[in-house]
Chain A
Amino acid sequence: MIAERVTAQNISDNEFFYGHKACGGCGGSLAVRMALKVLGERTLLTLPAGCMSAVSFNYPQMSYANNAIISAFAGTGAVMSGLKAGAEAMGLKDYHVLGIAGDGGTADIGLQALSGLIDRNDDAIYICYDNEAYMNTGIQKSGLTPYGSTTTTTPAGSKGKGNIKQKKNLFEIVAAHGIPYAATASVGYIEDFATKVKRASQIKGTSFIHVLAPCPTGWGIDTSETIEVAKEVVDTGLWYLAEFYDGEYHLNRHPKVFSDVTHYIRRQGRFQHLKDEDIDIIIRSRDKTWKRIEGFKE
């Protein structure tokens, strides 16, 4: 993969996403801000229902310096195809089509339209900012909520352990379409994420980035802990940084020794109810994943 690394030294000073009302410490808004700094003003952006549209499209106070349009919740991938086809019909040159949706908007209600987009291989970039629940509506379980997390629809109580399902493997679901470029990222490793956005922008055809983005409100962490937690989830091996291109998986970061899962779990309000044996389940699941991705190229 080409694309020079995007770093603090070479990233644009321009801002394209400001004046919005996202919460302090919001990982999602950081991902959006960085993606737009990489892609620039000539970006045609669509977002469905979710935090990132709810905080930024409140008439008359608009928060995007580039062109932006809200999509129906299930329609992100389809609006992206429409923007691309419309831009071509209008003879436009030198622009990016970008879709940004949350975990629910991507892995649940928007999965069909995302699949259609990838199938059509329209030249566009889809970014899923994953804060691991429907945060905008008040922390309900999504298909990407991790095992053990309490949400308002999987409440941990005397019987329940919170969510008992593992996260959908969205990255590999997307890759299975034969997409030209897919990647996982975390806002904790922001240069890695920004570089992947750059790479995605140089791909002809559809590209997809799944970026983990903590939500202090939903995760029960301090607003100052977002980046630390987003690093820790990678360092513990509970999330991995990888790419898929030319039909092959590539692992970007392989910690020699994983950092302490218990520390990562115990610092978050959403996991407070978990017992040690629940943490063991999480660790075993992580190890199973790493065994599976052993075949990824380094």
Chain B
Amino acid sequence: MSQVRFISGDEAFALGVSLARVQVISAYPITPQTIVVERLADMVEEGELDSKFVHVESEHSAMMTAMGVSAMGARAFTATSSQGLLYMAECLGYVSGGRFPIVMMNANRATALPWSIYGDHRDSLSQLDCGWIQIYVEDAQEALDMAIQGYALAESENIRLPVMVNLDGFVLTHTYEKVNIPDRETIDAFLPKRNTWDKLDLDNPVSMAFTVGPELNEEFNLLHHKASINALGELARIDKEYAKITGRSYGNAVKGYRTEDAEYVLISLGSISGLVRDAVDRLRKEGIKAGAIKIRMMRPFPKDEIAALTKNVLAIGVIDKDISFGYEGTVYTNVNSALLQKKIYIPSYNFIGGIGGRDVSVDNIESCFKEMINADTKETVRFMGLEVIDDC
């Protein structure tokens, strides 16, 4: 029987990892990731989880240990945040290029400097090109469910890539919510033990993680690219399977809200998406045809799905908890490229907000819609909710 508990996003993720019967956990502490690994350490200690906890001395080693585990054919987990993600950055490409299906939780947190422990998306978005599948969740329930689905996705035979599941730091990692926890038998049936041919095998020795010269290197990258794209369809398939056993469905890589007849659509990632839907409801009461799109997956990027939801709108806006200094938010760049490729020529705006944990209110989001409606195109990239006057 499933049970309902009142827990934080980190705790929900830890329970998801436990239900996925992860065999080895290697992790190094960093706020606001710590609770997920503390709970897992408790579960291992109390015998609830038959897993080995490896105490590594850095995030770089956390990822390298996970790679070693995964190379043996076992299921590996690690978690990090912010500076930790950047510190392990070179290992991310080893793990994705080597096609090791590790799942990692990243607690989204600002990157220094200025130093901050609070949330934004600059850490994970800086690693979009590292070859991992990137998922952003909206609440603690989705965190638990995507910990489990993450392994199903990562280990799919036509994908075999690592998955990074992103939770907004503090807003999701440390906020308590009611979470439905599936029972072990249900998840065991959904996610059997990892069984792979792609491993170091004492009876059939192989070399892994090798060098490839210019004559074939591009082909390996093409295979990696195609495997990543497969995750779009596979996510939708897994979601349907998961819905059958748990009753919960999150749809595919994007989720639209009141987009059917929408004229103005705001696009977001993660925990802020609920607030965007609230703003949509408020504006609808005023007779404004507002809509929202939540992007659940940044890699592979769901360009067709976004285009399908925006082809009849008058303008779109993208909220970025991120800024690629000197240009614009990274989600905005990706969305604009998708629209151009699909020949959707509409005004688009970028609203930078929530940087370094700055609170974003529903009023802030309403004003994003208003700015789109007013068609003020002087500046397409704007910071929202500034506490100072931008006169520089």
B210 touches A112 (CB 8 A): no
A85 to chain B: closest residue by CB: B24
Task: Specify the chain B residue showing the minimal Cβ separation from A91.
Answer: B74
**Of all chain A residues, which has the CB nearest B203?**
A42
Q: Assess the B54–A69 pair: CB atoms within 8 A.
A: no
- Is there a chain B Cβ closer than 8 Å to A71's Cβ? yes
Give min CB distance, A189 to chain B, whole Å: 30
CB pairs A–B below 8 angstroms (9 shown): A57-B209, A58-B212, A67-B208, A69-B207, A79-B65, A82-B24, A85-B65, A95-B202, A113-B58
| A72 touching B64, Cβ below 8 Å | yes
- Tell me which residues across on chain B come within 8 A of A112, comparing CB atoms: 57-58, 60-61
Contact of A42 among B70, B73, B202, B207 (CB under 8 A): B202
Residues of B within 8 A of A95 (CB): 202
CB neighbours of A166 from chain B (8 A): none
CB of B207 within 8 A of CB of A62, answer: yes
Is A227's CB within 8 Å of the partner chain B?
no
Tell me whether B205 is interfacial, beta carbon within 8 Å.
yes
Question: Within residues 176 to 216 of chain B, which ones have a CB less than 8 A from any CB in chain A?
Answer: 200-202, 205-213, 216
Q: Is A92 part of the binding interface, using a Cβ–Cβ cutoff of 8 Å?
A: yes
Which residues A67-92 have CB closer than 8 A to chain B? 67-72, 74-75, 77-90, 92
Contact with B along A39-51 (1 / 0, CB 8 A): 0011010100000
B94 at the interface (CB under 8 A from A): yes
CB–CB A68/B52 < 8 A: no
Task: List, in ascending order, chain B residues with CB within 8 A of A66's CB.
Answer: 205
Q: Is B71 an interface residue (CB 8 A)?
A: yes
* Contacts beyond the supplied A82-B68, A86-B76: 18 A-B pairs with Cβ under 8 Å: A64-B207, A71-B94, A81-B68, A82-B26, A82-B54, A82-B64, A82-B66, A82-B67, A83-B72, A84-B68, A85-B54, A85-B74, A89-B24, A89-B74, A92-B202, A112-B57, A113-B60, A116-B56
> What residues on B are CB-neighbors of A86 within 8 Å?
23-24, 68-74, 76
Q: Indicate whether A119 reaches chain B with its CB closer than 8 angstroms.
A: yes
List chain A residues, Cβ under 8 A from B208: 67-70
Interface size bucket, B side?
35 or more
Residues of B within 8 A of A56 (CB): 207
Binding site for B on A (CB under 8 A): 41-42, 44, 46, 53-54, 56-59, 62-72, 74-75, 77-90, 92, 95, 112-113, 115-116, 119-120
**Most B CB within 10 A of own CB, among A42, A85, A90:** A85
**Inter-subunit contact A79/B206 (CB<8 Å):** no
Residues of B within 8 A of A (CB): 23-24, 26, 52, 54-58, 60-76, 90-91, 94, 200-202, 205-213, 216
Are A90 and B207 also in contact (CB < 8 A) when A79-B67, A81-B26 are?
A: no
9 closest Cβ pairs, A-B complex: A82-B68, A86-B72, A75-B64, A78-B61, A116-B57, A78-B64, A89-B23, A86-B69, A82-B65
Contact residue among B23, B26, B60, B69 (Cβ-Cβ distance under 8 Å from A74): B60
Tell me which residues across on chain B come within 8 A of A82, comparing CB atoms: 24, 26, 54, 64-72, 76
How distant is the Cα of A83 from the Cα of B205 in the complex, in angstroms? Answer: 14
Q: In the assembly, what is the distance between CA of A44 and CA of B69, in Å?
A: 12
* Known contacts A83-B71, A85-B68, A67 near B61 by CB under 8 Å: no
Contact between B69 and A64, CB atoms less than 8 A apart: no
Expressed in whole angstroms, the Cα–Cα distance for A120 and B24 within the complex equals 14
Cβ A83 vs Cβ B23 within 8 A: no
| Whole-angstrom distance between the Cβ of A15 and the nearest chain B Cβ | 13
Whether A72 lies near B91 (C-beta < 8 A) is yes
CB proximity of A58 to chain B, nearest CB, Å: 5
| Contact between chains at B210 and A80 (CB < 8 Å) | no
- For the complex, give the distance between the alpha carbons of A80 and B64 in Å: 9
Please determine whether B209 and A69 come into contact, CB atoms closer than 8 angstroms: yes
What is the CA–CA distance of A70 and B76 in the complex, to the nearest angstrom?
Answer: 18
